[in-house]
Structure formats: C-alpha cells, structure tokens
A and B are shown apart, each in its own frame.
Chain A
Amino acid sequence: MAKLKVNGKSHTVDVEEDTPLLWVLRDHIGLTGAKYGCGIAQCGSCTVHIDGVAVRSCVYPLGALSGEEEITTIEGLSEGASHPVQQAWAELDVPQCGYCQPGMIMAVAGMLNTNPNPTDEDIDAEITNICRCGTFVRVREGIHLAKTKKA
C-alpha cells in the first residue's frame, strides 16, 4: 500500500513500487490527462508537477515518492482552465491533435513557476517536449502571452 497526494486529494494504492507514477495516475487513480508517449523520458507527454516542479512521470517510480509530495496533474492545474498557460493556449488555439498538450502545458507551467519571465533562449533550453503535430510556433507565442496573464 502506498499513499500519495494528487491535486490536493489523498489516495492509497496497492501497486508494485517500481510502477511509474504515470501508470499509477492513469490506471489506479483514474486521471488520464497525463499521456503515455514514449515511456523513456524523451517526449514529455507524461509531464506532471511534483511540488511544483515539472517531472516526466513515465520514469518516476512510485517507490521514489514519500507520500508527502504535492502531485499536480493537468486536471488539477486550475479551476475552469484558468491558469495563464491554459488561457493563452485557448486564445491562440495551440493544440492540434492535443495529445502532447497536457504534458506541454505542465512543462510550461512548471517553467513559469521558477522563471515567470522566460526569454526565447530559456524556452529553447527548458521546453524539450516532442509534438509530432508541430505546434511549436504557437507554443512559443503562447508562453509569451501567458506571461502577460493573471490566473
């Protein structure tokens, strides 16, 4: 039995310790917003926050969590899609297929937590998510727009 706190709610799950957080969220807790894209920390589709820091949950084993961390998934990022990143994304119609976007949004939101005013160079260095639809132009515009918005 392991305990974890997700989007402000406590959960107890009966799962092997080597199970990646991604699959605990998706299959045991029923939060399917974080997506499986590669399973090897390459694509970022599975990005969630642990204590406000963006992590790739597909390679984060349950056993590495103490149970005290605040885990945030896309479902818990805001009420009513009100996070600045979500607002900017809606305004610019950033998603195409959208499958990478929960991870993209969480990666960007994580960056803004520590760096509220990223430059293009910061974006290049920190946002390494794959988007096969190729939404990068609007992702970049969206980040700059999000900087100007309030939650």
Chain B
Amino acid sequence: MTELLNLSRRKFIIATGATGLTIGVLAACSKKPGEPDYSDMEPNPEVNAWVHIGHDDTVTVRIARSEMGQGTLTGLAQLVAEELECDWAKVTTEYPTPGQNLARERVWGDFSTGGSSGIRRSHQYVREGAAAARIMLVEAAANEWGVPVAECTVSKGVVSLKGSKKTLTYGKVASAAAQLAPPLDVTLKDPKDWTIIGQPKQRLDTADKLTGAQVYGSDVKLDGMLTASIRQSPQIGGKVKSLDASAVASMPGVKKIVQIGDDAVAVVADTWWRANKAVLALPVEWEGGVAFSSSEFETELDDGLTSDDAFTGNKVGEIAPAFANAAKVVEATYNMPFQNHAPMEPMNATAIWTPEKCEVWCPTQNGEAALAAAAEAAELPIEQCDVYKLHLGGGFGRRGMSDYVSQAVKIAKQMPGTPIKLQWSREEDMLHGFFHPITKARARGALDADGNLTGLHIRISGQSILAALMPQALANGMDFATFQGLLPSGVDARVEDQTLKYTFDNLLVDHAMRNPPVRPGFWRGVNANQNAIYLECFMDELAHAAGRDPLEFRLAHLKDSPKSQAVLKAVAEKSGWGADDGKSRGLCNFYSFGSYTAACAEVTVDADGNLKIDRIVAATDPGYAVNPQQVEAQVQGSFVYGLSAMLYGEITFENGVAQQKNFDSFNSMRISEMPKVETLVMPSGGFWGGVGEPTIAVAAPAVLNAIYAATGKRVRKLPIKDQNLRDA
C-alpha cells in the first residue's frame, strides 16, 4: 500500500515539475536533444536546505512560502540567486513540504504566507543560506584544484581559477560541496552590488499558466481518486440534525454519503458534477444555528461609536481641550461591511488516509498549519502525515485557514486508502468565508480659527479579528491589529510596521469592540483597508472644512515622515494635482506592512451619477523592490481588489445566512471599470517593506476623495453599489 501511495505521489510530483527534493529521477526527463545525458549518474545531493544543483547545472531553489499570484516565488528565488552567484537562466524552484520542515527541525523556518511578509520576514536567512551554499561550492572547487579559496572567483555558477583557464561549474562540484562543513560566518552582499535583486526579472511560473499545464489543487488527479462536494450548515453555527442518504444513494456516480463533524455533509462520487448534484439534492435538516442579522447589528455598531467601553490604541496630548476651544468641529461616520475573499479558485484539498499515513495535496498559505490540521483530523501522529503544496488560485488571506483541509481528511478517513478530492462549490465558498470584519468609525476633528487641526478623535466600533481567531494575542482584551496603520510609533517593535506617520498635537484613536457571531478573517490588506478610509477620507474633509489644499494640509502633518512626504508629493506631481484642467482628483497616503504608499485618483461622474475611475497614480516605497515589475503588478492588482470592495463588496446576513452566494450578487470589477494605473516604485533602501497588500489601502480613499472633488458629495457608506453619486 505504502509503495502504491509513493508511486502515485511521485507520478504526481513529476507531472508538476518538481525536482531534487523528492528524488533524483528527473534530470533525465528534462534532457533536450544534444545535451549530455546524466541519467545513469547518481543524482547530486542538495548543497544545503536552500539549494540543489544538478549535474546539468540546473539550480533548484527551495521556496518555503506559498505562491498565490503575488510573485513571492520569483522574488525569493532572486534573493537566493543573488547570493549564490548562479546563472539566473538555470534557476527553477520547488516547495519543500511542511513534513520535511518538521523532520529537519524547521530548517526552512516559517511557511506561513500572509501579512505581505513572504520576503520581508525571510530575506535575511534565505540570503544567508544561499551565501553559505556559494561558499561551499567555491571551496569544493578550490579543493579540487588543491588551491586556497582566495585563488578562485565565481560568476554565473562557474568557478574560475585566477591566472589560469581552469573552470568548474557548480554542477560539477555540487556533490563535493555537500560534504563540506557549512561556513560559520557569511557576509551578505552590499545592496549596491546586487545584479539580480532589484531587476525586473520575468516570473518563473508564467509558462504553465498560459497553456493549462499548471496543476492547481482543483486539478489534482491521483489513481483511483473520487471527488466530493460539500454542504455546510447555511446558517451560522448550525448542526446536522438528520440527513436522508437513501434519497440520493442511487444517483449516477454516487459512492458514499458522509457527515463531516457535526456541521457538514458531503457526497463522494466519481466526478464533481455528480457529487455536487447529489449533495444539493440530499435532504438535510439543520438545527441550532444563530439568527444573526447584519442590518440589526448596525444598532450595536452605532452604540459603539459613542460608548464608554473603548480600548485606546493611540493617544497624544488631550483632545478634550482642543474640542472645547475649537473654532469649528467636523464630524463624519464611515463604515466597512463584511467582505468575502472570493479567490478565483474555490476551496479544495485532496487527501488519502490509511491507518498508517495521511497525505494531503492542497493550495494553502500556511503549510505548517495545514499539516497540523491534517494530523488532527487524521488522528495520526504528525510525523505520519504530510502536505504537498500547490500554487494557489488566489489566497488573499482565505487560504491561511485550514478548514477545507480538515474536511478533506475527515472524508478520506471514512474511505481508507481512496484518494478523495474535496472541491467546494462557489456557493459554499461565499457562504462559508472568514469574512473581512465589519466596522464603523466616527471621526471628529477640531479646527482652530486659522484652520489648523488641533484635535482628532477616531472611534472605531466593531469586529476584532484576533478576538475570534487568536484570542491569546489580545492584550488585556485589546486587539492591537484593529488599529493597523494608526498605532503609535516607538512603542512596540512588533507593530512598528503598522504605525501612524502623521504628527498630531492631540489625538485619540480608540476601539469599542462589537463582535458579531460571523467568523472574521485576514482579508488582503486586513484592517488597513478601512482605517485608511477612516483616516484619509476624513483628512480630506478636514482640509476642505479648513479651506486648505488637501495636499498641503496632509504634508503639514507629515513633517516627521520624509518618506511619506516623498510618495505623496510624487503622486501629486505626476498626476497634475492642483492643475487647473477641470479634472477631479483625490489623494491618499498610508503606511502599512512596513511600506509607504500614496495614490492620486482621477474620476468623472456623469450627469446621471455614473462613476468612471479614469486614472490612478500610485507610489510605493517598500525599502527594497526585489522585482520592480512584480511590484507594479501587485499595485495594479491590489487596486482591483480594494476597488471591487469599494464599488460592490458587501456580504449581508439574514437569519444567520449570508445573502450573497456567487459573483452575481458579490460582484467584482471588470476590465471596463479598470482605470489606467501609473505606478511609481520608489525604493529608498535600508528597510524591507511589504508589497502585496500595502497599496490596497490607498485606492478607495483616493477615489472617494476624487468623487467629492467631482460632485461635492461625500460617499461615507460602502459599498457605493447602487448609490447615485449625483443625489445629495
């Protein structure tokens, strides 16, 4: 049996193109005509955990983090190639498994891919690993020639002996290098000497995405595999009371009807369409759900806007005297509804369970968490389980959760030895998200007679992600993550990358926690999405109330953050801010995930109130831009995600059931709505900021502020959806 499983796994891995880690049988497969044949040679061992080099000099870089479109795979490979001094044209990648990581004392560190951290939280040890491999390879070449290492130079994977014509490629010395002791000390290159990092290299994962050859979790096929479709309690918290399996047992292709835990049922069939048809027809009675209504929850959110039970996230000076002495008080209330992540590929996982072993193939942003979930559901020691990661058809935070992994294993456990692919329908995916939290905010500002902002209070009311998902991370009940982008600087190093860059004399940012029974999740950009709206739409309102230019007004409060000033000034200049050209523009700047971002949007609103977003100029300073063309792609993509939410995104609940079940009611922007995006990538060096998420925050506020410029109307209720932008 084990042999059979190994075989099917191997076949699968070969089909998806992985190499050295698994087995060395692949060098022969990839041989092109005329190339030397290494197939009867013993494959090279890895140089170290990060690098395997084949006899043909192919460099396989191990990537611990997940690729979900954000380009991290290519970026991490660039980091390795830079320090390895190898030939970029010979670089390929593979994912080590979470099980291998566990067995090797977490040699690859953290697998989790979220918080725009793939590169910024691993660049140091990844580059050190690559530099160590280079040192070993050069030493092996020096040993081969019997000369001191100092006699050798290396470039593009070829070691040369000074003053001679002698050369050795990495592939020739990889095996000897693997036997050497790793260096105790490595010195990384000075960024000014980089030749691969910082270059707009083409992605390593494009080719298969153009031909249908890329195997996603949904496409996994194993020998003897059956497919399952699931139905979970439509009502929050509901359990299965009864089901009538006999009603669907004889439908075409149906193999088994199973209950999963106490809150879901699934049909296993030979194909997904048959499984899904049967699971939809399966009579199920549910019980014990919660009759939650999001419109009724508004009352609780409104209560939180003025209640006394708030956690203080940031406090400077005293706001009360400022308001008492204000010449003018400005006030505005904003909201952010629940959002579904809706990655393009609905949730899925494939599992095989036997009493000895459990293996799972899945798209996950958190391989180690998926492994832990698999082991728990399998009721097997974690050492007897493993997870094989595939490229994700989108993640956006949703695939940091492992609910679908547990479910697949629980089904497979009821059919020992049979591989089971669990594929959720889009409807299940919409109904059973981990939703972007719901919040509202009331912002109040005190202006003096000269139009200076003397006091600012932002009260956030609503849902905490940490309270639901990581209560151990709460600080005396407070969820610091709620204050993302609004936190004080210099207080807690762990959240220094999410701090407020404005300087205010008197400031209070506080949070009245109001938790609905809806499970929240980390949604691309997380709380920066709404906090940027709350702060930056209000800064715009304040500037207008003070009779000041919104750019000048912002810059006055950015005096202590030259990097914020730089990105904001850059977008203003490039977009033509202040030009007397009849265009309606809106600004935004924000700092989150360690990156400085700004945007200037240009919109037109026609006489009927139809919005057209014409152009957005965006700037980001992520410190180092490992791959500028991919940074640009992330800026463009993040705008689609953020603006789709602003325009359409809203999940509402009635009687505990999500009311949006597919893209017909949870719409997403199309190409016709896409503005021109001009991206200024402005890496100023000396720090490592995130890329995938930070710019999402500036899109919606810039557009909302531009709508005001066009119409004189403030949109404070999201999504815009069916609001007429011309009706006051």
Contacts and interface: CB of A to CB of B under 8 A. Distances in A.
B427 to A, nearest CB: 8
Interface of A: 16, 19-20, 23, 26-28, 30-40, 42-43, 45, 73-75, 77, 81, 86, 89-90, 93-102, 105, 123-125, 127-140
B670 A99 contact: no
Contacts of B676: 137
Contacts of A36: 218, 272, 346, 423, 426
Given A36-B346, A39-B426, A81-B210, A128 B640 contact: no
Nearest to A86: B210
Contact of B215 (A16, A32, A128): A32
B203 A99 contact: no
Interface string B183-218: 000000000000000000011011111111111101
Contacts of B273: 19-20, 23, 27
Interface residues of B, number: 63
Interface in B267-284: 270-274
B662 A124 contact: no
A133 B394 contact: yes
A36 B209 CA distance: 15
20 contacts: A27-B270, A27-B271, A32-B218, A35-B216, A37-B345, A40-B663, A40-B664, A74-B211, A90-B206, A90-B210, A96-B70, A96-B71, A97-B395, A101-B209, A130-B668, A132-B396, A133-B641, A134-B640, A135-B636, A140-B671
A33 B212 contact: yes
Those 3 A-B pairs whose CB atoms lie nearest each other, nearest first: A33-B212, A134-B640, A99-B393
A134 B639 contact: yes
B68 A37 contact: no
Contacts of A39: 425-426, 662
Interface of B: 68-71, 202-203, 205-216, 218-219, 221, 227, 252, 270-274, 342-346, 391-396, 423, 425-426, 629-630, 633, 636-641, 644, 662-664, 668-672, 674, 676-677
A30 B15 CA distance: 14
A134 B699 CA distance: 13
Contact of A136 (B342, B346, B671): B671
A35 B633 contact: no
B394 A99 contact: yes
Contacts of B213: 33, 75
A34 B394 contact: no
A144 B83 CA distance: 38
A81 B207 contact: yes
A58 to B, nearest CB: 10
Contacts of B394: 97, 99, 132-133
A144 B629 CA distance: 19
B219 A32 contact: yes
Given A40-B662, A125-B672, A136-B636, A97 B271 contact: no
Contacts of A20: 273
B715 to A, nearest CB: 22
Given A97-B344, A98-B391, A27 B272 contact: yes
Main SS class of interface, B? loop
Nearest to A20: B273
B637 A135 contact: yes
Nearest to A121: B672
B124 to A, nearest CB: 26
Contacts of B630: 93
A100 B636 CA distance: 16
B670 A130 contact: yes
B203 A139 contact: no
A35 B396 CA distance: 19
Contact of B227 (A27, A89, A105, A136): A27
Contacts of B391: 97-98
Given A32-B219, A43-B663, A137-B674, A132 B344 contact: yes
A100 B344 contact: yes
Given A99-B216, A136-B640, A38 B426 contact: yes
Nearest to B219: A32
A93 B662 contact: no
Given A20-B273, A42-B664, A97-B394, A134 B211 contact: no
A35 B71 contact: no
A28 B208 CA distance: 22
Contacts of B639: 134
B211 A37 contact: no
Contacts of B205: 98
Contacts of B426: 36-40
A105 B208 CA distance: 13
B214 to A, nearest CB: 6
Given A27-B227, A93-B629, A134 B216 contact: no
Nearest to A77: B211
Contacts of B203: 93, 95
The residue in A16, A26, A134 that gathers the most chain B C-beta atoms within 10 A of its C-beta is A134
Given A32-B212, A95-B209, 7 more contacts: A16-B274, A32-B218, A97-B393, A99-B393, A128-B671, A130-B668, A134-B637
Contact of A97 (B69, B270, B342): B69
Contacts of B271: 23, 27-28
Nearest to A24: B273
Contacts of B218: 32, 35-36
A31 B637 CA distance: 28
A35 B662 contact: no
